[in-house]
């Protein structure tokens, strides 16, 4: 575990992360995570784990679980959740753009509501492709730029204020296109993130293969 002490701003952000998401989790978010993670198997690496909300949903097919998170305050909360779940695994302090795993060593990578805040999502997806073995899978759940012209215009108008409020989140990012540029998307479902502001309602959930 890191000996670095998180700053006050980081601690406050980590403390409010789950309360901010709580209504969205109750309005289908938790069930959505559970459905997605039913496909996780083998050596699993989750990028941007945050406080570890996915931990309870990993099943018996997961042989080795590595949760990566660059924010120390978030990582500490993920550590606590992992210990509380009583399952083997580790939390690694690392950003998605620089994963400390060898090439082709991972069976499943998980990304849930992460790529909108990663400083360089293209680099992160290149890392995902690098660490996945041939045939390995990315399980993703991300909010995306809206197909609706009206909503996408609002996303563009509010992108700056939302990014300042939501810790760097880019509400108008065409994330599905970025995933398609790095991996072969085999399944995608479009859903709505109910319980959250309309500019982050459009969701995509699915699987992509290396």
pLDDT confidence band for 1 (50 / 70 / 90): very low
Residue 107, domain extent: 8-143+174-209
> Residue 31 domain-assigned?
yes
> Residue 115 domain-assigned?
yes
Nearest Cα residue to 169 out of 96, 94, 114, 111: 114
> Residue 162 domain-assigned?
no
For 82-137, write each residue's pLDDT tens digit: 999 988 899 999 999 999 999 999 999 999 999 999 999 999 999 999 999 999 99
User: According to the model, what pLDDT value does residue 17 have?
Assistant: 60
Nearest Cα residue to 18 out of 65, 69, 68, 52: 52
- Strands in 90-92's sheet, in edge-to-edge order, are 90-92, 62-68, 42-46, 106-112, 132-143, 202-209, 184-192
For 133-192, write each residue's pLDDT tens digit: 999 999 999 999 999 999 999 999 999 999 998 889 999 999 999 999 999 999 999 999
> Residue 26 domain-assigned?
yes
109: domain CATH number is: 3.40.50.150
pTM score of the predicted model: 0.90
H-helix or E-strand spanning residue 178:
helix 175-182
> Residue 163 domain-assigned?
no
Tell whether the model's pLDDT for residue 72 goes beyond 60: yes
> Residue 164 domain-assigned?
no
User: According to the model, what pLDDT value does residue 167 have?
Assistant: 84
> Residue 152 domain-assigned?
no
User: According to the model, what pLDDT value does residue 197 have?
Assistant: 93
Based on the structure, what is the number of domains in the chain? 1
> Residue 157 domain-assigned?
no
| Long-range contacts at 24-33 (CB < 8 A, ≥ 24 apart) | 24/193, 24/194, 24/195, 24/196, 25/53, 25/195, 26/195, 27/194, 27/195, 28/191, 28/194, 28/195, 29/193, 29/195, 32/141, 32/191, 32/203, 32/205, 33/57, 33/112, 33/141
């Amino acid at each position: 575990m890191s000996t670095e002490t998180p700053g006050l701003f980081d601690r406050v952000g980590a403390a409010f992360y789950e309360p901010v998401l709580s209504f969205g989790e109750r309005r289908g978010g938790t069930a959505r995570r559970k459905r997605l993670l039913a496909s996780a198997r083998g050596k699993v690496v989750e990028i941007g784990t945050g406080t570890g909300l996915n931990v309870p949903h990993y099943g018996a097919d997961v042989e080795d679980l590595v949760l990566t998170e660059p924010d120390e305050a978030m990582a500490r909360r993920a550590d606590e959740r992992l210990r509380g779940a009583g399952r083997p695994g580790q939390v690694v302090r690392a950003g998605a753009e620089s994963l400390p795993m060898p090439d082709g060593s991972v069976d499943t990578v998980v990304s849930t509501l992460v790529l909108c805040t990663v400083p360089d999502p293209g680099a992160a997806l290149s890392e995902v492709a690098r660490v996945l073995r041939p045939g390995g899978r990315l399980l993703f759940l991300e909010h995306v730029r809206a197909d609706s012209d009206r909503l996408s215009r609002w996303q563009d108008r509010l992108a700056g204020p939302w990014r300042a409020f939501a810790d760097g989140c880019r509400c108008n990012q065409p994330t599905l296109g970025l995933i398609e540029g790095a991996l072969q998307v085999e399944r995608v479902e479009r859903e709505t993130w109910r319980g959250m502001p309309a500019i982050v309602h459009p969701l995509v959930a699915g699987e992509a293969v290396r």
